[in-house]
Structure 1
Amino acid sequence: MQLKCVAIDDEPLALMLISEYVSRIPSLQLLKTFEDAISGAEFLKHAQVDLLFIDINMPDITGIELVRSLEKKPMVIFTTAYKNFAFEGFELEAIDYLLKPIDFTRFAKAVDKATEYYKYKNAEPKDQPDDSIYVYSEYRMVKVNVNDIEYIESMEDYVKIHLPGVKPVLTLMPLKKMLEKLPADKFRRIHRSYVVAVNKIKSIQSRKVQLAGIELPVSDSYADFIKEWAKR
């Protein structure tokens, strides 16, 4: 399998570096490079492209504006010389951001993420693994192992995915939509603000679900779950 890719950057040296890096990765096929963002955007409208490497800061149009304008969006890896990314990029669900000067090891890691995500999105339903999901967090696509999730907390427009021993993953998504991504037999909503992994529950007492190191409330609307859990 090869991902067909395009690179857009107003800096010729940056394009040369990306072209050289792409040539070292057999899973990539570079279709074309563009120093002119407008020409690149026109090409993307008519070509079948799987992955786009694009600079954020360009003179005629920003990379974020260009990607937003595309009716059919490929996977995107942004390249930038700036550490502070525009928040607007969040909604575009970029696979990754690469900070210039780009190191090959970091480049290859971003490509691995894109390849993995491509396989996930294009697998037949019967071949879809239920042990991982992808969410957009901290300006990049993040893979989360479903079996590691302890509970999920709603924070208005965001949800916080709590995992053991690491920082929670924060993503822009309503709790209802997150539930749709998860296997129904493994996760249950117990409150308007909480979803728990059923196999992570230690005990339930006085409308309180006991997990490792935390206690979560069960609201009246979801009280039937207590009886269901007791029968397991």
Structure 2
Amino acid sequence: MNLKCLIIDDEPHALRILEKYIRQVPYLECEATTTKSIEALQLIEKFSPDLIFLDIQMPDLTGIQLSKLISGDVKVIFTTAYAQFAVEGFELNATDYLLKPISFSRFLEAVEKVKKLKAENRHNSNENEASENFFFVKTDGKNKFQKVDFSEILYLESIRNYVVIHTKHEQIVTYNTLKHFEENLPSEKFIKTHKSYIVSIAKVSKTDTSEVWVGDDSLPLGDTYRHTFFEKIRERRI
């Protein structure tokens, strides 16, 4: 996992030292440097960095003021020659605080902390995403429920008072309405193509103005749903 970095410091010598240190760490990438805090805001928007080395004593905007304008999951390591700013820096949830002159060992300790935090955040994010990629439906039997993974679904078909969930390996029948699934399935993954069908966008193999093929199955494309369906197709066209 590489970390994109910005260096913001009004001392050219400090910039050069940090650039040198970054080059020695394989997972760090220096996207840009600046001595101007106003320009720093533009660079942050342009590069969306993972990590910012931020000097506290800056003209126009101090590093403390600048850090309050940074949004998103951007880690900040403050750099300064004055130890008295450390408390205020940590109150702003800075990941670490480097006191100049900065040794490479202390620099490495700080960036390793950022790397660990980023890895933990990614792990938690993946776990949350995985937990939201399935659902349970009631099938035959009073208290029988079956797990259905989004990735397994080809399409859903409404038949009278039932919905048949067609997957790669089986057909799951549940007493429900297609409207219920339309309201609860993620719209970025599933789309209604007919009053009786919802298809997985990722499983569409081809289409024309009247039919949608999902695997080997040809499904009707209704007039009411055609425009919205092709809007989704256009989003993925190259």
TM-score, normalized by length of structure 1? 0.52
Aligned residue for 1:32?
A: 32
Go from structure 1 to structure 2 and tell me whether the alpha carbon gap of 1:126 and 1:70 turns closer, same or farther (over 3 Å shift): closer
Deviation track 1:173-224 (CA, whole Å, cap 9, x = no partner) reads xxxxxxxxxxxxxxxxxxxxxxxxxxxxxxxxxxxxxxxxxxxxxxxxxxxx
Gaps in structure 1 of 5+ consecutive residues: 129-232
Aligned residue for 2:148?
A: none
Given the alignment of the two structures, is residue 48 of structure 1 paired with residue 45 of structure 2, yes or no?
no
Aligned residue for 1:111?
A: 111
TM-score, normalized by length of structure 2? 0.51
Deviation at 1:71, TM superposition (A): 3.0
Deviation at 1:45, TM superposition (A): 2.3
Supply the distance in 2 between the matched residues of 1:17 and 1:52 (Cα, whole angstroms).
15
Misfit runs of 4+, over 4 Å: 125-128
Deviation track 1:47-85 (CA, whole Å, cap 9, x = no partner) reads 221000010111221111001012335100000100111
Given the alignment of the two structures, is residue 4 of structure 1 paired with residue 4 of structure 2, yes or no?
yes
Deviation at 1:43, TM superposition (A): 1.4
Deviation track 1:86-129 (CA, whole Å, cap 9, x = no partner) reads 6442332111000000000100010100000110111146769x
Supply the distance in 2 between the matched residues of 1:86 and 1:98 (Cα, whole angstroms).
9
Aligned residue for 1:121?
A: 121
Contact 1:5 1:52 in 2 (8 A): yes
Supply the distance in 1 between the matched residues of 2:124 and 2:61 (Cα, whole angstroms).
37
Q: Which amino acid aligns with 2:43?
A: F
Go from structure 1 to structure 2 and tell me whether the alpha carbon gap of 1:35 and 1:6 turns closer, same or farther (over 3 Å shift): same
Please identify the structure whose Cα radius of gyration is greater.
Answer: 2
Contact 2:50 2:75 in 1 (8 A): yes
Supply the distance in 2 between the matched residues of 1:125 and 1:40 (Cα, whole angstroms).
28
Aligned residue for 1:101?
A: 101
Contact 2:56 2:78 in 1 (8 A): yes
Aligned residue for 2:60?
A: 60
SS in 1 for 2:109: helix
Backbone CA RMSD of aligned residues: 1.8
Q: Which amino acid aligns with 2:59?
A: P
Contact 1:7 1:53 in 2 (8 A): yes
SS in 2 for 1:123: helix
Supply the distance in 1 between the matched residues of 2:86 and 2:117 (Cα, whole angstroms).
23
Deviation track 1:119-167 (CA, whole Å, cap 9, x = no partner) reads 0111146769xxxxxxxxxxxxxxxxxxxxxxxxxxxxxxxxxxxxxxx
Please say which of residues 81-90 and 42-51 is displaced more in the overlay. Answer: 81-90
Contact 1:3 1:27 in 2 (8 A): yes
Supply the distance in 2 between the matched residues of 1:67 and 1:73 (Cα, whole angstroms).
12
Deviation track 1:27-56 (CA, whole Å, cap 9, x = no partner) reads 100000001111011211232210000101
Aligned residue for 1:160?
A: none
Supply the distance in 1 between the matched residues of 2:125 and 2:8 (Cα, whole angstroms).
34
SS in 2 for 1:17: helix
SS in 2 for 1:107: helix
Supply the distance in 1 between the matched residues of 2:40 and 2:51 (Cα, whole angstroms).
13
Aligned residues: 128
Identical residues among aligned pairs (%): 44
SS in 2 for 1:57: coil
Q: Which amino acid aligns with 1:15?
A: L
Aligned residue for 2:81?
A: 81
Supply the distance in 2 between the matched residues of 1:29 and 1:118 (Cα, whole angstroms).
15
